[in-house]
């Protein structure tokens, strides 16, 4: 039984604007129950999945492609070439360009990057950025600014960024992003709030952001969404996903 208010489904309006569903999800390198993960993603019916911690080592492309196929999606960009962030998309997306971005490496810390793309849904043109920010506070703040710089450099009318921020609202990196972009959960709360750890979530460190002009119809953890089982959420990975429904105006 669906325990949540209805979240709009994907559609293209006669004027060329589009309603899309996007999902942010840290999948912990597919080290948990991949079948449960695929069931959760399919039940959310996303047009784009902003993945963090995608497989990065032996046969990583094969693993990413296998997950995409199980979810009726295709690999758009990212993976090991972006140090972990990955973008998956449905065939609704018309791809204009993709780019994997490696961020400056701080000695002794994990390499980070962005998976990016520019796509169209109907006549709506949008930039996409999947990110996984540092565990180090100072580096995380720098990476938040680099994410904003990347959004600006994409030169698109609208953009969506989603990821594992390793920081809750109120932190400096989160605050920098939320000042420049719209925190979709804050704009239109829907579903659950906390995203980590999956089995007893008590903090919100995963988020979806959008630029001005994107109409946020609802955003949150899809606990209680039809087809999303609590057991699958607990088994799939150590994070809970964030699902958002967004309306993208036709490109000006």
Asked if 222 and 36 count as a contact pair (C-beta separation under 8 A), the reply is: no
- Residue numbers of the chain with a pLDDT score lower than 50: 1-2
Residue 170: CA atoms inside 13 Å, Cβ hemisphere, count?
A: 3
Which residue ranges make up each domain of the chain? 11-248
**Rounded distance, CA 122 to CA 15, Å?**
9
> What is the predicted pLDDT for the residue at 6?
86
**Full-model pTM:** 0.97
Please tell me the CATH code under which domain 11-248 is placed. 3.60.10.10
The pLDDT of residue 2: 45
Read off the pLDDT of residues 26-76 as tens digits, 9 standing for 90 and up: 999 999 999 999 999 999 999 999 999 999 998 999 999 999 999 999 999
């Amino acid at each position: 039984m669906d325990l949540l208010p209805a979240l709009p489904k994907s559609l293209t309006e006669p004027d060329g604007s589009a309603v899309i569903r996007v999902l942010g999800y840290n999948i912990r390198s597919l080290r948990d129950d991949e079948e449960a993960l695929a069931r959760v993603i399919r039940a959310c019916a996303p047009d784009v999945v902003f993945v963090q911690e995608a497989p990065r080592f032996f046969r990583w492309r094969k693993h990413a492609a296998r997950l995409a196929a199980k979810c009726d999606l295709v690999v758009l960009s990212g993976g090991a070439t972006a140090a972990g962030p990955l973008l998956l998309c449905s065939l609704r997306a018309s791809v204009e360009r993709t780019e994997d971005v490696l961020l400056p490496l701080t000695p002794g810390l994990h390499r980070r990057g962005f998976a990016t793309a520019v796509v169209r849904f109907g006549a709506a043109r949008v930039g996409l950025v999947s990110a996984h920010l540092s565990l180090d506070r100072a580096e995380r703040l720098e990476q938040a600014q680099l994410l904003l710089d990347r959004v600006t450099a994409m030169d698109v009318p609208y953009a969506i960024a989603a990821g594992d921020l390793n920081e809750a609202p109120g932190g400096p990196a989160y605050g920098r992003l939320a000042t420049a972009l719209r925190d979709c959960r804050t704009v239109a709360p829907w579903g659950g709030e906390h995203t980590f750890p999956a089995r007893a979530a008590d903090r919100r460190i995963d988020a979806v952001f959008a630029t001005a002009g994107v109409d946020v119809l609802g955003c949150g953890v899809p606990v209680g969404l039809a087809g999303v089982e609590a057991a699958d959420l607990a088994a799939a990975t150590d994070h809970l996903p964030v699902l958002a429904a967004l309306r993208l105006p036709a490109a000006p």
